[in-house]
Amino acid sequence: MLKRSGKVYLSGNTGLLGSSALRLLKDRGFKNILVRNHKRLDLTRQLDVEKFFKNERPAYCFMAAAKVGGILANRTLTGQFIYDNLMIEANIINAAYISGVKKLLFYASACSYPVDSRQPMKEEYFLTGRPEHTNISYAVAKIAGITLCQAYRAQYGCNFICAVPTNAYGPRDNFDLKDAHVIPALIRRFHDAKIKGDKKIILWGTGKPKREFIYSDDVANASLFLMDHYNSPDIINIGSGCEISVKDLSNLVKDVIGYRGSIAFDRTKPDGASRKLLDSTRINRLGWRARVSIEEGIKKTYDWFIKEYHANEV
C-alpha cells in the first residue's frame, strides 16, 4: 500500500496517461509529487536522471514518459522511437534502483504482444512471437522496458511492476495529425471537416480491424490500484473489454462531433494488426474493472478538445 506521505515521481506528467495519474494522485491525497518537464529534466540523458534521483530520493515512481505516435509516426520516426524510449526506460529504471525506490510502475504497451497472438491476448503470450511491423521500433523498446524491470527485480530484488494498458485516449491526448493515435486523429479530422464544411472524409485502411480502447482516467485508477495491490514480476493487462471496429468507431466519433458528411476508406493504406484485445481477467480478479464507456469517454475527450486544445490553437 502506497503511503500518502511518500514522495512520488511521475514522469510524463503533461502527457495523456501522466496527466490523468497526476490528477488522481492529488485527488487521493498525495502531497509530495515530483514532476519535471523536458526543459528541466531530459530523461534521455543518463547523468541528469541519476542526479535527479540522487537529489530527490522518491519512494515511488510512475513511468508514463515515452515517445509515442500513430502508424505514420511509427513508420517514419523509427530511429527516434526506439532510441528515445530505450534511453528513457534504461535511465529511469537504473536510477530508481540506485537511489532505492521502493516501488516502480512501468507502462508497457499492447503492441508488445505478437502480431499473430491469439485473442484476447493473455499475459503469458508475451514474447511468443514477433510484434506488428508498422510499430516495431516502439514495440521492441517497450519489450526492453519490461525485460529491464524483470531483470532488476530478479538480480537486485527491486519491486518494479509492468502494466500493459490497451489503447488509451482522453484529455491531453495528442491531436496533431502527423503523429496522433486513432481516436484523437479521428476527433481532429471530423472536427476540422465539420468546421470547413467538407462533404467527405477519407480514412486509412479498410475500417475492418478491431481495437480495444480505454479512457485515460481508467488507466490512472488501475495504476494506483496495482501500486497498492500487485507485486508480481509478471506483466499485467489493463483493458476495458470493449472491442470496436475502426469503421464503427469512426461513425461513433462522427456522431459525437455532429459531422454530416460521408466516410470513405483508402484500402491502399495499411490497417495495422487485424485485432487487438487484451485479456484482463488477472486484474479483474484482483478487484479492478474499467468504468468509463467508449461513448462517454469520447464525449469527454471532445469536450476537452473544444475547451482546451482547439481554443488554444485558434
What one-letter code names the amino acid at 71? I
**pLDDT tens profile 33-74:** 999 999 999 999 999 999 999 999 999 999 999 988 776 767
- Structural domain of 218: 8-172+214-241+275-292
Q: Note whether residue 41 is domain-resident.
A: yes
Instruction: Give yes or no for residue 218 having a pLDDT over 70.
Output: yes
User: What average pLDDT does this structure show over 108-127?
Assistant: 95
Q: 35: domain CATH number?
A: 3.40.50.720
Instruction: Please state, in angstroms and as integers, the Cα–Cα distance from residue 240 to each residue in 169, 276, 279, 297, following that order.
Output: 12, 12, 9, 12
Q: Note whether residue 219 is domain-resident.
A: yes
Q: Note whether residue 19 is domain-resident.
A: yes
Instruction: Name the packing angle between helices 182-196 and 294-304 (round to 10°).
Output: 60
DSSP assignment of 214-229, as one string? EEHHHHHHHHHHHHHH
**pLDDT tens profile 9-28:** 999 999 999 999 999 999 99
CB atoms within 10 A of CB 254: 20
2: helix, strand or coil: coil
Determine whether 138 is an active site residue: yes
Pair type for strands 210-215 and 243-245: antiparallel
Q: Note whether residue 16 is domain-resident.
A: yes
Residue of 138, 259, 302, 309 with catalytic role: 138
Count the domains in the chain: 1
> Which pTM does this prediction carry?
0.94
User: What average pLDDT does this structure show over 142-170?
Assistant: 98
The answer to whether residues 219 and 109 touch, using CB atoms and an 8 Å cutoff, is no
Q: Note whether residue 252 is domain-resident.
A: no
Q: Note whether residue 30 is domain-resident.
A: yes
Residue pointed to by grid coordinates 502531497: 31
